[in-house]
Structure 1
Amino acid sequence: MTTLPTPDLLRPASYVYGTWHANPDGETLVDAIYGRPVAVISSEGVDFAQALAYGRDVGGPALRRLTFHTRARALRALATHLMERKEDYYTLNLLTGATRRDGWVDIEGGIGTLFSYASLARRELPDERFLPDGKVEQLGKGGTFVGRHILVPRDGVAVQINAYNFPVWGMLEKLAPAFIAGMPTLVKPAPQTAYLTERVVRDIVASGLLPEGALQLVTGDPGDLLDHLEEQDMVAFTGSAATAAKLKVHPNIVARNVPFVTEADSLNASVLGLTVRPEDPEFALYVKEVAREITGKAGQKCTAIRRALVPRDRVEAVVEALRKELGKVTLGDPARDDVRMGALVSTAQRERVQATLEALREEARVVIGGEERDLLGGDREKGAFLDPTVLLCDSPLTARGPHELEAFGPVATLLPYDTLDDAVRLAKMGRGSLAGSIITHDRAEATDLVMGLASTHGRLLVLNRNNAKESTGHGSPLPQLKHGGPGRAGGGEELAGAAGIKHHMNKVAVQADPTTLAAVTREYVPGAEVREDVVHPFRKSFDEIQVGDSLLTHRRTVTEADIVNFAGLTGDHFYAHVDEIGAKEGIFGKRVAHGYFLISAAAGQFVSAAPGPVLANYGLENLRFITPVGIGDTIRTRLTCKRKIRKDLRPGETRPTGVVEWRAEITNQNEELVATYDILTLVERSRDGADPALEA
């Protein structure tokens, strides 16, 4: 039977100002299973002011020279590099008390976040060093004064203070959006598991894939780090609400208005719907979800279920089902294949959980647990084992402990409720949560609970038989969605797709004339000067096309035959197009051309029919019909290059391409805007190199 090996004593170092800084003396850490010395950790001698300055002066400029897409390619390469070395991380993960299954969430979940952000940046962001945000705002009646927001990287360092429970994911989920945004990172992991974080950072540094100064690491005590923060820096903290409350009022953070983002442990609730019966699939799903959240990472998750809200007449059934489910959980050495739950991170953490458990028992009674089960390996005294425990609070609406005290371990409290209003009230008594879940197949019930809980939760999972196979579960943050919550949960927001990137950037409003704004944002702005050429823009390669290149087409008068033929071709016989009497009584007062006829006719005006360099229509966006076109009206179209998006070659592709976004504006004989939309075309690149404009 495989057991946890005795490790060589590790000496995790800090990586600051381009060098590894180790210390022979420091705090001795022990493994969570047998209590054997595993590492000596210290940050003694680290110059925190120099580390921050190095990030600002070396890492920041190096990152800001790269575009979003270049950073994304580096991040993807890094994710691949780390994935190839994941087994080394799994070995160290066992020393923290976590099983391989627990480690999968931390290790591969963290690396997966790098992959996710790399893809998101290439898909949603331009190949630029800044990000235009929102639409162009018309600030003057004549159209000569306009404004738009742009986002640029902050000039400081993203200081990321992480908790012990996710030494890999906790670092990488913060690093990914900061790196894409162009902001260097200084990671300060919790000391209990910093040796695993340090191993990953060693591999990152050795890879050479990130610019020097983009990532620094401080193991051990943070010293006077916060004293040296400046206005362009920011802090992202994950940990207890009590510690967050102390750090965010640090005198230097307050004096310099340093952004401080908190993701704090919260008393997350899971609600079993009133309509769910023991024989329903949702009942079994609820029991499995609560059991998984109690035992996963030995309950050491900031998103874990701490309060299980159950209809009062189903409490006994839930207790019995939970007892059976938790009875299957084997406790012991996580290196063994027959162990499903490991230990808490340290004996000190176990003592804290036990103390909180005793406080909870003043208003609740233990219904599952309380007796030590046999260990499959490990040491009861020197290790940090704690058996899964479930309490029952009979009067949760008048109790305080279950809504205020968090046992950060394998502990949950059952809270009976009588009505959906009571369930909402109970959940809100936690004063803000990172995550909540609702298990029901009744859509009306789900809607009422979501609307009731939304104001005090960062994320809500509605789980039922339809999504159970694909659901990632109550406690799993996803890169695409917000991780954070109001109130006790800290009020912060991490991940959330592109929002996590924008958080690391400064939004500035730029006001100018249309031509100047177009030059600044590198996107065409309506009203800006355009360039017309004897060469049709569709005859130019991706590299030859420039933002502002434009074509004004010939005119075309719309006839009754056009409308009738289009109706016959498409089957669209809407009265406004083909019914003379009905059209006169309608909002237009006359028959009008189909909107889709207009954009089809416009395509006929601006398309160049010969093959290449334009290879395909890639899509159409932002279509608006503004002025109706009747029989006898004359239209023409202006097509202008709005922006360019260079595409990388995918595996198997040999033809380099890019996407060109065109602004199409259809006007009538009175120069009134008839319709406007954006067209995306796939255009061949004449060479597999960078856009000269991006190299400028």
Structure 2
Amino acid sequence: MSIQQIASFAAGEWVAPGAGAHRISSAITGAVIAEAGNDALDVQGMLDYARGKGGPALRAMTFHQRARMLKALGQHLNRHKQALYDISFDTGATQSDHLIDIDGGIGTLYVFASKGRREMPDDTIYLDGGVEVLGRTGQFLGQHICTSLQGVAVHINAFNFPVWGMLEKLAPTLLAGVPAIVKPATNSCYVTELAVRLMHESGLLPEGALQLVTGGLGDMLDRLGMQDVVSFTGSAETALMLRSNRNILENSVRFVAEQDSLNASILGPDAVPGTPEFDLFIKEVSREMTVKAGQKCTAIRRILAPEAQVGAVIEALRERLSKVVIGDPRLEGTRMGALVSAGQKADVLAKVALIGAEAERVFGDPENFTVEGADAGAFLPPMLFHCADPDRAERVHDTEAFGPVSTIMGYRDLDHAIDIAKRGQGSLVASLITHDPAVARQVVLGAAAYHGRIYINDRVSMKESTGHGSPLPHMIHGGPGRAGGGEEMGGIRGVMHYMQRTAIQGSPDMLAAIGNKWVPGATEIKGPAHPFTRHYGELAIGETLHSAPRVVSVQDIEHFAEFTGDTFYAHMDEEAAKRNPFFPGRVAHGYLLLSFAAGLFVEPTEGPVLANTGLDSLRFMKPVVPGDSIKVRLTVKQKTPRTEEYGEVRWTVTLTNQNDEQVAEYELLTMNAF
């Protein structure tokens, strides 16, 4: 068998392995299949290439353009994912494991692409929060903005998810407008290399946006600066070494870590044998022990059950785990493949010895188990331990055997379960299987501060839930303390790791110009015609229509009440309304005012306004009494393209009375043809 040469992609060139190359073995057979690494890589040249080529090219694109790029990259990878499946078997992963890694990574690209289009502007500046009024008259304002960092993101990834692990970091990085240098774990870097080749061959990436190091980074971390970011996934020991780098500390280089985690799963006191929740718990635990051969940072390492149910849980897990077929992951019937390498197997066995000093192994013998279709490789069986005294134990709470290993322990009451879960000193995820909302609230109040995510499941959500061990791009992935203190993904929150938040202060016109969004007090623009007759591209931010006034009469109020059925006393009973501290007497319905407002600003003829899709931030400031008049100011606040045919226009609608006092305000959303 020929040995595959796994290249790096540096400064626009593929660089073959050289001095310092590492040999990579198949997890299935133990045979050498590839080599990777080159100590002669020009790391400064790679940084210069990213900062000088990739960064400017990405920052010239809007968030929407970057989002469309992510979607297209996902589509390209999806068309070629069979090649990624085929090459991934040698990592020990099964076909179902590939779906988590490869399809999960592609799905992450799609989610960030969608969120970039839906939740971010078609601009290069992101507005973080609302406008703050800093002066008495509203002529001095503040606004937080986020802009792309002007450095490079160095992504150091773990071996267990060579595609998802790269893409879950890469998607928010590219959406933020920052180039990336990806360094996968050497044991599975051949899968990452193929994914990077596919993305580069697509022609979708700007020059310098993505580089790859297969092997060591050399002294790259010593060359980073305050505009750069390091995002790391791996062991706590390695994370400590990297984040302690003197250059990183001196330059306050952003360091995001996702590391060791002694994740716990709690069986609620209500989830007794015979309930759907008990069966669900057994299914979740066994799945987390065997998916990717337990090599998941989110896998369940500690199983917490009421003391009275420990025996039942052990028996149920024994039965389920005994049916798991271990073997060559290429075989259709295999449920669990191999660990990634012989070295990883040895590490797991060493950790198992530490756990075994405090807990009894009740299932799985690493010296006596069956492997289908293979007689070598880094195989281990699922191993279940029982710790009879979790309060006195130490190793079961601080030792992570990164493989198919978990320990069950009993708890006396829910507070005891919470205390045991917290013994992990910070975890990526804890799960709770219960049908009792009171139990869920108690666990969240007691344990949330120690966890990045709490996954709660029961008979109601079980059909739709994605599982304890499935981080989703919509939600944060990370955790405090031992888990690294970082956060990844989390929708747009993840993008912010690669952007600088800056407080901008100035006049309304200054903030409107910077944010490309009209703010109260900024200059109004008088358009050449009614704004509803003008197409999306013709409308200018700040373009404003002032309506004629309309008097609100008693007859209007009574007709609206009769027509709608809203006969609330404040609109119909003068004396009752006067007794209300908010009203001087009978007042107009708020929704009547909205209806009158629409009548004052709407252009009724067919035109480029296609639909009214809603309103946001409605506020009523001052009551309108019979005899008052109202008028409307309609201003183009913001524009966001949605398709090739139309875009969303956000209008600020302000209603004032005859004394120019604001009585209501809201934001109207319309879809306008291009």
Q: Would the TM-score normalized by the shorter structure come out above 0.5?
A: yes
- The yes-or-no answer on 1:51 pairing with 2:46 is yes
Letter in 2 for 1:590: G
CA–CA distance in 2 between the matches of 1:58 and 1:594? Answer: 59
Letter in 2 for 1:547: I
Cα deviation, residue 451, structure 1: 1.7
Q: Which residue of 2 aligns with 1:4?
A: none
CA RMSD of aligned residues (A): 1.0
Q: Which residue of 2 aligns with 1:199?
A: 194
CA–CA distance in 2 between the matches of 1:644 and 1:480? Answer: 25
Note the 1:366-515 alignment, pairs <5 A. Answer: 366-370=361-365, 372-380=368-376, 383-515=377-509
**What SS does the corresponding residue of 1:493 show, helix, strand or coil?**
strand
Q: Which residue of 1 aligns with 2:82?
A: 87
CA deviation map 1:658-677 (0-9, x unaligned): 11110001011111111111
Note the 1:291-310 alignment, pairs <5 A. Answer: 291-310=286-305
- TM-score, structure 1 normalization: 0.95
Aligned partner of 1:538 among 532, 541, 553: 532
Note the 1:203-282 alignment, pairs <5 A. Answer: 203-282=198-277
Letter in 2 for 1:557: V
Q: Which residue of 2 aligns with 1:122?
A: 117
Contact 1:35 1:379 in 2 (8 A): no
Note the 1:332-347 alignment, pairs <5 A. Answer: 332-347=327-342
**What SS does the corresponding residue of 2:271 show, helix, strand or coil?**
coil
Contact 2:156 2:182 in 1 (8 A): yes
Note the 1:109-188 alignment, pairs <5 A. Answer: 109-188=104-183
Letter in 2 for 1:602: A
CA–CA distance in 1 between the matches of 2:607 and 2:144? Answer: 36
Q: Which residue of 2 aligns with 1:670?
A: 659
CA–CA distance in 2 between the matches of 1:338 and 1:126? Answer: 48
Gaps in structure 2 of 5+ consecutive residues: none
Cα deviation, residue 320, structure 1: 0.6
Cα deviation, residue 34, structure 1: 0.7
CA deviation map 1:365-389 (0-9, x unaligned): 1011125221101234xx1111110
CA–CA distance in 2 between the matches of 1:667 and 1:273? Answer: 56
**What SS does the corresponding residue of 1:412 show, helix, strand or coil?**
strand
CA–CA distance in 2 between the matches of 1:379 and 1:344? Answer: 14
Contact 2:263 2:300 in 1 (8 A): yes
Contact 2:18 2:39 in 1 (8 A): no
Aligned length: 671
Contact 2:18 2:38 in 1 (8 A): no
**What SS does the corresponding residue of 1:518 show, helix, strand or coil?**
helix
CA–CA distance in 2 between the matches of 1:516 and 1:158? Answer: 31
**What SS does the corresponding residue of 2:6 show, helix, strand or coil?**
coil
CA–CA distance in 2 between the matches of 1:443 and 1:143? Answer: 46
CA–CA distance in 2 between the matches of 1:570 and 1:120? Answer: 38
Aligned partner of 2:322 among 317, 320, 327: 327
CA deviation map 1:498-543 (0-9, x unaligned): 1111221111111111112111111101011101134111111111
Cα deviation, residue 24, structure 1: 4.9
Q: Which residue of 2 aligns with 1:41?
A: 36
Q: Which residue of 1 aligns with 2:55?
A: 60
**What SS does the corresponding residue of 1:275 show, helix, strand or coil?**
coil
Structure 1, 22-31 or 272-281: larger mean CA deviation: 22-31
**What SS does the corresponding residue of 1:564 show, helix, strand or coil?**
helix
Contact 1:42 1:221 in 2 (8 A): yes
Letter in 2 for 1:658: G
Letter in 1 for 2:383: T
**What SS does the corresponding residue of 1:286 show, helix, strand or coil?**
helix
Q: Which residue of 1 aligns with 2:672?
A: 683
Identical counterparts, % of pairs: 51
- The yes-or-no answer on 1:102 pairing with 2:91 is no
After the TM superposition, which segments of 4 or more aligned residues of structure 1 sit over 4 Å from their partners? Answer: none
CA–CA distance in 1 between the matches of 2:236 and 2:561? Answer: 64
Q: Which residue of 2 aligns with 1:557?
A: 551
Cα deviation, residue 179, structure 1: 0.5
Q: Which residue of 2 aligns with 1:288?
A: 283
Q: Which residue of 2 aligns with 1:606?
A: 601
Q: Which residue of 2 aligns with 1:690?
A: none
CA deviation map 1:150-179 (0-9, x unaligned): 111000001100000000000000000011
Cα deviation, residue 265, structure 1: 2.0
Contact 2:134 2:140 in 1 (8 A): yes
Q: Which residue of 1 aligns with 2:576?
A: 582
CA–CA distance in 1 between the matches of 2:372 and 2:182? Answer: 35
Q: Which residue of 2 aligns with 1:652?
A: none
Q: Which residue of 1 aligns with 2:515?
A: 521
CA–CA distance in 1 between the matches of 2:80 and 2:185? Answer: 22
Contact 2:166 2:192 in 1 (8 A): yes
CA deviation map 1:413-457 (0-9, x unaligned): 001111000000000000000011001111211221122111111
CA deviation map 1:616-653 (0-9, x unaligned): 1121111111111111111111000001111223xxxx
Contact 2:418 2:446 in 1 (8 A): yes
Letter in 2 for 1:452: G
CA–CA distance in 2 between the matches of 1:48 and 1:79? Answer: 28
Letter in 1 for 2:656: T
CA–CA distance in 1 between the matches of 2:38 and 2:410? Answer: 48
CA–CA distance in 1 between the matches of 2:245 and 2:538? Answer: 54
Letter in 1 for 2:422: K
**What SS does the corresponding residue of 2:301 show, helix, strand or coil?**
strand
CA–CA distance in 1 between the matches of 2:309 and 2:144? Answer: 54
Letter in 2 for 1:110: G
CA–CA distance in 2 between the matches of 1:615 and 1:331? Answer: 59
Gaps in structure 1 of 5+ consecutive residues: 1-6, 650-655, 686-696
Q: Which residue of 1 aligns with 2:347?
A: 352
Cα deviation, residue 39, structure 1: 0.5
CA–CA distance in 1 between the matches of 2:333 and 2:516? Answer: 59
CA deviation map 1:554-576 (0-9, x unaligned): 00111101111111111111111
**What SS does the corresponding residue of 1:508 show, helix, strand or coil?**
strand
- The yes-or-no answer on 1:640 pairing with 2:629 is no
Cα deviation, residue 23, structure 1: 2.2
Cα deviation, residue 142, structure 1: 1.2
Contact 1:629 1:674 in 2 (8 A): yes
Aligned partner of 1:17 among 11, 24, 46: 11
CA deviation map 1:203-241 (0-9, x unaligned): 111111010111010010111110110110001000011
Cα deviation, residue 43, structure 1: 2.4
CA–CA distance in 1 between the matches of 2:373 and 2:491? Answer: 42
**What SS does the corresponding residue of 1:105 show, helix, strand or coil?**
helix
Contact 2:18 2:40 in 1 (8 A): no
Contact 1:154 1:505 in 2 (8 A): yes
Structure 1, 601-610 or 363-372: larger mean CA deviation: 363-372
CA–CA distance in 2 between the matches of 1:331 and 1:289? Answer: 18
